[in-house]
Every structure is written in C-alpha cells, then in structure tokens.
Structure 1
Amino acid sequence: MTGELVLLTGGTGHLGYRTLVEALSKGYRVRAAVRSEAKAAGIKSAKSTQPYLNQLTFVTVPNIETDGAFDDAVKDVDYIVHLASPLANPTDDDEKNIIQPAIRGTLSILYSALKHPSVKKVVITSSVAAVLPVEPKPFDADSVQPDPQGPYPDTFTAYSASKKFALNRTRDFIAKEKPQFSIINVMPTFVVGKNELSTTPEAVNDGSNRLALVPILGVNNPDSVPSFVCHVDDVAFVHVAALDPKVKGNHNFGVNYLSEKPYQWNDGIDIVKKHFPKEVEQGIFPLGGSQTSLIVPFDASKTEEVLGFKFKNYEQQIVSLAGHYAAVAAKA
C-alpha cells in the first residue's frame, strides 16, 4: 500500500535495482540496505531513481551473514524484500563463499524480522535452482528437494545447492519460529533484460544476460544450458506484487516464460535480425554464434493466474537486452 516502508537488500544488482524502482514506482517508501556509501551513491545517481529520491533512504549493512546484522535496518518496516545472495561465480571454496552465505544471509534477516512486530511479510529471492529435480521431469515452484550432498563438481551445482539449502532452512524457520509475518519465495529462471546500472558492453554481457547474448555476439558454447528464461521486469513485478496483503504468504512464485513451442537460445539471432538490422550491419551484433539449449519444463503458470498478468515472451526479452547492449556499445 502507498507509503508503507520496505527494507530492500541487493539493490545494486541487475534484478535488485529493477525491483527497487518497481517498489518506488508503486508508491512504497524504500530503505535500501547497502554494503557501503559508494553503493548508495550509485543507486541515487541512476536515472530511474531520480523521480523517487524523497521515498528512498539507505542503511549500511557491511556483512549480511552476521547474526543481528539487520536488527537496526528492520526497525519500523512493514515489508522486507531480500534479494541479496551470492551469485554463481567461480570460487576456491564453494561452501565458504556460496553455500554458507546464502543460508546465513537469509536466516539473519528472518531472525532480525522476528524481533520487530511491524513486519508483515518477507519476500525472498530464491531460484528455480531451489526446486530443480535431479532427474529431468516437469516441476513447479512447490516442488520440494532434499538437502544436497557435496562435494560439488562445478560452480552452478554449488549455486543450486545454496538455493536448496536456503529454501529448506526457511521452511525450518517457519515451522520452528511460527513468525508473525508470512514469507514468499520468488523463483525465477535465468533473468535477462536491460540492466540500467551496466554502462559498458562488458557489464551488459554479464550474469544471465551472457547466455542470451552468446549466439548474438558470435560466440559458440557447446555446453548445454537449460533454456528457461524470464524478463527482469517480470521478476521485479512479482516481488512487489507479492507484498499486497491480498496475496497469501508462505508459498512460492515461479517466474518463467513457457511457450507452446519450446524456444532455443539461438532463436535470439532471428529476433535481432528482425529488430536491429542496422546494428547487425554495423557489426555490433556479429551473429553466427551458438548456445546449445536443454529444454527443462518448469511450470510457473500459477504466478500469472494469482497475480493477473502475463510473462513477457522471448522476443520481448531479447529486444530489451539487445536494445540496451546496442545503446551502450554505441557510446563505448
């Protein structure tokens, strides 16, 4: 509701910043938890933040894993949107740098919220990885997976494990503490689309966006990657729409565009040819690359039904991403 206060973490990330702007645009006041003043300055200076500066404040939380890290940040807030979590970046210690931070960061903010009766709902950014079955089969956001067992053969497996652990510990928290607030987990697939905070071609070509840009930028990746993907705007919308008191808590919302005819990562080539012929001619999009696709049936239709909207299709996703890449590349 208009004017209510949201504590938001992870606001400098691709999804986090878009969610922050979505919350501000819907009339919420936002208290953004950042690791440093420099991070706050980056958010304040971004173009989309400018109309809402009077609704935005900051609190510094240097280490989200520490017990009680959010105790002061949570004071007097109505809602929490917790997006901050380790990404699937290579590390020499997956347990220390990916898995434990995901678990401790989630539990830290939940236990801080438990101390403040003003909190009505907590929305947590989980992932499709949290409910992804070991054996390929159709599944949805309510699938329950057991705690994984290490060691983990690669970074993405460790990242998937971190999401499963964090979700399972959240379930344990609800059962044990019976909090006064409800909890919603948002489970997006690969998130693509414009990242306003990315101002160089290298920065745009990062994270999940890299997967969609592989064939468009003439790169060949023979490794199979699940072709489940969603638009960053849709994921941000779901986080904020879930705050509505009419939306019941303690359940999950998947975010995934699923077409009748399964799409492939390489479909981006024809989309770019159609919408950006000039940029293709200029060599901004060399095309000719290939990203092998693995079809994984993740049904997120419940989210569309409950929240009353439709996910953006793959063409819309690629147009958003490629348009931003072209604009940034033209200034480079």
Structure 2
Amino acid sequence: MDKKETVLVTGGTGFVGVHCILQLLQKGYRVKTTLRTMNRKEEVLDMLRNGGIATPDGLEFVEADLMKDANWDKAVKDCRFVLHVASPMATVIPRDENEVIRPAVDGTLRVLTAAKNAGVKRVVLTSNFGAVGYSHKDPHTVITEEEWSNPHQKGMTAYNRSKILAERAAWDFIRKEGEQMELAVINPVAIFGPTLGRDISGSFAFLTHMLDGSMKSIPQLNMNIADVRDVADLHIRAMTHPGASGQRFLALSGGAMSLPEMAVFLKKEMPGVSQKVSTKVLSNGLVRLAGLFNKQAKAIAPLLGVSRNVSNAKAKKMLDWQPIATNEQAIVASVESMIKFGVLQ
C-alpha cells in the first residue's frame, strides 16, 4: 500500500482523535483533521510534538462542525479513508438529551454523505461499548460484537443512547445509500492511557476525583479498560484490513477492574500522588438513595455491582491486534500524563 494516501480524522483535538493522527503520521500517511474552530490548531500541533512528531509534515486542518454542512466536501476531498472519531460529549447531564443525540446522529450522516460523494473507500466509525453490551447484566454471558444495546433501556445515558443511534444510522446508511463505500466500527470500553495534552477522556473523571480527594468513598463500579494507544491502533487496522469491511470490533485491554480495586492499586503503586485517595467503599444503597436527588448518582446507580464479561477475541483473531497495555499500565500512563500536562495538580 502507498502510505502517502490521505486519511481524514474528524475531531483532531480529542483524546482518541489526536492519537489516531499521531500513529497515521508515524506510518507515513497524509492526514487531514477537522476542528470546530481553527483557534485550536496550535493545541493539536503541541499534542503531536508531545507525542514525538516535531514537524508534522503531511497534516492539514479543515474547520468543520458536525451540525453544519460547510467544508465537509473540502475535508473529504482526495481522502481514501475516513476515521470518524468526533462525537459530542456532554460535560454535564443535558436537560434535553437531543443536545447530544442530534449532533451524533446528524453529524455521522453528514460525514458519511460527504465521504460517499468524494469516493472514499472506507469509513471507520468510533462507537462505544455502550452500543454493544450495556443491556447485558449476566456476568457469565460473554459479550461479543453480535450484541446490541437497547437504546430505550431504563438508566441509559444520553451519551450511550447517542452512540447506539449514531451507529445504527451509519449501518442503515451504508445498506441503503452507501453504494461501494465500506464501513467498519470500533466499540471501545472506558478509555485510559497517556494524554498528549489537557484534552482527556471522560473516563479520567474517576481518576481525577479519586486523586484530588473529592471522591470520599468509592462506588462499587466495574470498568473494562482500553488504552488509547491500542484504540488508535485498532482504528488503523480496521481501516486497512480487507476483512474488516462490514464488521464491528470491541476494543479492551483485559478483564474488568472495579473502582475500589483501582483505588487500592493507586495507593500501592503510586504513593507519591495518591495521598488523598480514599479506599472506603460506598454502599450501593447509599448511591441509589442519592440518585433520588442527584443526577450523577442516578446515572451510575444502574451500573452498581454489574460485571460484564467482554471479549476482544474478534479483533485479535481477524486483525492480529494485540493490546500493548494492561489495565494497570493504562491507569499509570493516565496519571503520569495528567500530572505532566497540568490536568491534575
């Protein structure tokens, strides 16, 4: 393959997006990336320098918004592949869930339409685990890419619902209007790993609240973890592998890890930064009671005590993907980079 082919990565300022750009440039691809405002161009360049690319030749920026038609034709022009990573992420629980859902669904269709019109060969869409296995509560059931979450399930967050509906819309588009264009989907679990700047994954909120002492007691939540470097690598493998067309791939490093286990690990392995970390476990009953009055507690209450048995066998077998980081290594890399870039004081 001629590595001088051009790839569009949407959402270049994002945690996953910038790691995708970094790895593509390291592999010799030309890269375009979209930003909602060009004011953040220098921020992306700084993150790439932090990742080891001093002069990112072959990188082009295009100003484009998921909710607007402008410039998407320019963004996809001359691109053979598109990694559609960008997706709205609510920092607070929205009053109207359509504030998150509509940009996710409409933005995905906008990108797919522009890509098809430009003759793009394959789009790789970043979905999430919430679109696959949120509805499964049996810890003995192995969750694979064949599963779909119920978007109308009680307790479903607006973000997870947006991911389900956007991915469904993407597959419908390919089936009805995609013509020769191909689609592959990546479904990551909670993403940790090294940040290249101050833009971090939403999963980092748990680490932040543990390390700054604001999480006085630790809820009994179980998390499956993926390192951002592995997630970016999986996007690129799904972009190029002939057999990845029409497939979904779950991205996770290992088995589940609970927040109490994470707290104990931080206290033991990173004592210099974990003085404020509590190892006191919060009872499920108290969280559910708090959920009657607090939106954040209400959002996590359905997840209490749930342990999901998630399989990454498909990505390993079909794409020869081997995660480079364990759960623990991803957490250490997260904390070290948060300190380095001033996310955590």
- Please indicate the TM-score interval, normalised by the length of the shorter structure: 0.7 to 0.9
Gaps of 5+ in 2: 283-303
Give the Cα–Cα distance (whole angstroms) in 2 for the partners of residues 237 and 122 of structure 1: 15
Q: Name the CA shift for 1:327/1:49 in 2 (closer, same or farther; >3 Å).
A: closer
Normalised by the length of structure 2, the TM-score is 0.82
Match of 1:123, SS state, is: strand
- Using the TM superposition, give the Cα deviation of residue 8 of structure 1 relative to its aligned residue in structure 2, in angstroms: 0.8
Say if 2:225 is the partner of 1:229: yes
What are the Cα deviations for residues 32-57 of structure 1, in whole angstroms up to 9, with x where unaligned?
11111112121123322643521211
Q: Describe how 1:42-191 pairs up with structure 2 within 5 A.
A: 42-46=43-47, 47=49, 48=51, 50-61=53-64, 63-67=65-69, 70-89=72-91, 90-95=93-98, 97-117=99-119, 119-137=120-138, 138=141, 139-145=143-149, 148-149=151-152, 157-191=157-191
Give the Cα–Cα distance (whole angstroms) in 1 for the partners of residues 273 and 208 of structure 2: 14
Q: Name the CA shift for 1:329/1:84 in 2 (closer, same or farther; >3 Å).
A: closer
Query: Residue 240 of structure 2 corresponds to which residue in structure 1?
Result: 244
Q: How many residues align?
A: 315
Query: Residue 296 of structure 2 corresponds to which residue in structure 1?
Result: none
Q: Which letter does structure 1 place at the counterpart of 2:146? A: D
Match of 2:17, SS state, is: helix
Match of 2:72, SS state, is: coil
- Using the TM superposition, give the Cα deviation of residue 144 of structure 1 relative to its aligned residue in structure 2, in angstroms: 3.1
Cα pair 1:271 1:319 within 8 Å, conserved? no
Q: Name the CA shift for 1:35/1:6 in 2 (closer, same or farther; >3 Å).
A: same
Give the Cα–Cα distance (whole angstroms) in 2 for the partners of residues 116 and 215 of structure 1: 46
Give the Cα–Cα distance (whole angstroms) in 2 for the partners of residues 331 and 325 of structure 1: 5
Q: Name the CA shift for 1:318/1:290 in 2 (closer, same or farther; >3 Å).
A: farther
Q: Which letter does structure 2 place at the counterpart of 1:294? A: V
- Using the TM superposition, give the Cα deviation of residue 179 of structure 1 relative to its aligned residue in structure 2, in angstroms: 2.6
Q: Name the CA shift for 1:293/1:190 in 2 (closer, same or farther; >3 Å).
A: farther
Give the Cα–Cα distance (whole angstroms) in 1 for the partners of residues 16 and 10 of structure 2: 11
Gaps of 5+ in 1: none
Match of 1:309, SS state, is: coil
Match of 2:250, SS state, is: strand
Cα pair 2:25 2:58 within 8 Å, conserved? yes
Give the Cα–Cα distance (whole angstroms) in 1 for the partners of residues 340 and 75 of structure 2: 37
Give the Cα–Cα distance (whole angstroms) in 2 for the partners of residues 66 and 247 of structure 1: 33
Give the Cα–Cα distance (whole angstroms) in 2 for the partners of residues 245 and 6 of structure 1: 15
Match of 1:51, SS state, is: coil
Match of 1:266, SS state, is: helix
What are the Cα deviations for residues 148-184 of structure 1, in whole angstroms up to 9, with x where unaligned?
349x76xx62111111111111121121114322111
Q: Describe how 1:283-294 pairs up with structure 2 within 5 A.
A: 283=275, 286-288=277-279, 290=281, 294=306
- Using the TM superposition, give the Cα deviation of residue 111 of structure 1 relative to its aligned residue in structure 2, in angstroms: 0.6
Q: Please identify, of 125-134 and 184-193, the stretch whose mean Cα deviation from structure 2 is larger.
A: 125-134
Q: Which letter does structure 1 place at the counterpart of 2:145? A: A
Q: Name the CA shift for 1:228/1:220 in 2 (closer, same or farther; >3 Å).
A: farther
RMSD in angstroms over aligned alpha carbons?
Answer: 2.6
Query: Residue 195 of structure 1 corresponds to which residue in structure 2?
Result: 195
Say if 2:284 is the partner of 1:272: no
Q: Which letter does structure 1 place at the counterpart of 2:310? A: F
Say if 2:8 is the partner of 1:7: yes
Cα pair 1:183 1:250 within 8 Å, conserved? yes
What are the Cα deviations for residues 45-89 of structure 1, in whole angstroms up to 9, with x where unaligned?
33226435212111111x212346512211111100011111143
Q: Please identify, of 305-314 and 219-228, the stretch whose mean Cα deviation from structure 2 is larger.
A: 219-228
- Using the TM superposition, give the Cα deviation of residue 325 of structure 1 relative to its aligned residue in structure 2, in angstroms: 3.0
Give the Cα–Cα distance (whole angstroms) in 1 for the partners of residues 279 and 337 of structure 2: 20
- Using the TM superposition, give the Cα deviation of residue 27 of structure 1 relative to its aligned residue in structure 2, in angstroms: 1.3
Q: Which letter does structure 2 place at the counterpart of 1:269? A: A
Q: Please identify, of 223-232 and 21-30, the stretch whose mean Cα deviation from structure 2 is larger.
A: 223-232
Q: Provide runs of 4+ in structure 1 moved above 6 Å.
A: none
What are the Cα deviations for residues 271-305 of structure 1, in whole angstroms up to 9, with x where unaligned?
3344433344xx4x544365765312222221122
Match of 2:82, SS state, is: strand
Q: Name the CA shift for 1:122/1:330 in 2 (closer, same or farther; >3 Å).
A: closer
Among 305, 310, 317, which residue is 2:322 paired with?
Answer: 310
Give the Cα–Cα distance (whole angstroms) in 2 for the partners of residues 310 and 248 of structure 1: 16
Q: Which letter does structure 2 place at the counterpart of 1:106? A: T
Cα pair 2:219 2:259 within 8 Å, conserved? no
- Using the TM superposition, give the Cα deviation of residue 239 of structure 1 relative to its aligned residue in structure 2, in angstroms: 0.9
Give the Cα–Cα distance (whole angstroms) in 1 for the partners of residues 225 and 183 of structure 2: 24
Q: Please identify, of 82-91 and 72-81, the stretch whose mean Cα deviation from structure 2 is larger.
A: 82-91
Q: Name the CA shift for 1:180/1:321 in 2 (closer, same or farther; >3 Å).
A: same
- Using the TM superposition, give the Cα deviation of residue 224 of structure 1 relative to its aligned residue in structure 2, in angstroms: 4.7
